[in-house]
């Protein structure tokens, strides 16, 4: 994909990385490849699939979930426009994913292979620094979510999510928010 065909949102994200040279932005952007547009309900990653790509969400909305028992699943995160997304354990280890990534709306994504991305990390200190900061933010977010789930009162979990991510209530359907907060959809409706 020529760098000039990279969506403006990806180029904007790359241009925000302090210290990343314009030539590095263009070289990195050239390694991101568009995926076919995914309809609502389609899977980007299924449990059992090895996924060695990092995705940039250009448009749409996705959920990350873990199938707990047959017919049940627990939502563990979301991907919205401008975000980076992957089945992280599979991306890092090369083992089959236990998680699913599924579209909640028609979505357009770009992907870069693990090999290409790590090669850039090895040669671009600015990108490596950015990636470390992104991983730190993700870890803090996971820890905050774990604290949320330890709280016995659903109202407390909801209040913490509202404080941390108020925008999520505008884009994510309630049933997935309820799963993310480990409460029944009826409880979420009552609390809202």
pLDDT tens digit string along 51-63? 999 999 999 999 9
Residue 171's CB: how many other CB atoms inside 10 A?
13
Quick: pLDDT tens for 106-163.
Answer: 999 999 999 999 999 999 999 999 999 999 999 999 999 889 888 888 899 899 999 9
pLDDT score of 87 more than 90? yes
| Residue 154 covered by a domain | no
Structural domain includes residue 66: yes
Q: What is the pTM of this model?
A: 0.87
Question: Which CATH number do you get for residue 35?
Answer: 2.60.120.10
For residue 35, being part of any structural domain is answered with: yes
The rounded mean pLDDT for the chain is 91
* Residue 106 belongs to domain spanning: 3-124
For 61, counting Cβ atoms within 10 Å of its Cβ (0-12 exposed, 13-18 middle, 19+ buried), the class is buried
CB 54 within 8 A of CB 86: yes
Alpha-carbon distance values, 84 to 70, 124, 166 (Å): 29, 18, 19
Question: Is residue 166 assigned to a domain?
Answer: no
The total of structural domains in the chain comes to 1
């Amino acid at each position: 994909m020529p760098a000039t065909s990279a969506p403006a949102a990806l180029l904007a994200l790359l241009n925000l990385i302090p210290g990343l040279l314009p030539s590095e932005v263009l070289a990195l952007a050239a390694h991101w490849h568009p995926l076919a547009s995914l309809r609502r309900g389609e899977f980007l990653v299924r449990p059992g699939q090895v996924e060695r790509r990092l995705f940039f969400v250009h448009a749409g909305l996705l959920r990350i979930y873990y199938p707990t028992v047959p017919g049940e699943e627990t939502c563990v995160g979301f991907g919205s426009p401008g975000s980076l997304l992957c089945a992280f354990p599979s991306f890092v280890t090369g083992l089959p994913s236990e998680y699913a990534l599924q579209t909640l709306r028609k979505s357009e994504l770009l992907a870069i292979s693990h090999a290409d991305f790590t090669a850039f990390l090895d040669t671009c200190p600015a990108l490596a620094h950015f990636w470390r900061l992104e991983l730190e933010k993700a870890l803090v977010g996971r820890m905050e979510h774990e604290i949320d789930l330890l709280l016995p009162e659903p109202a407390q979990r909801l209040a913490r999510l509202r404080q941390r991510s108020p925008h999520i209530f505008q884009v994510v359907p309630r049933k997935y928010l309820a799963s993310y907060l480990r409460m029944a959809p009826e409880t979420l409706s009552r609390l809202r």
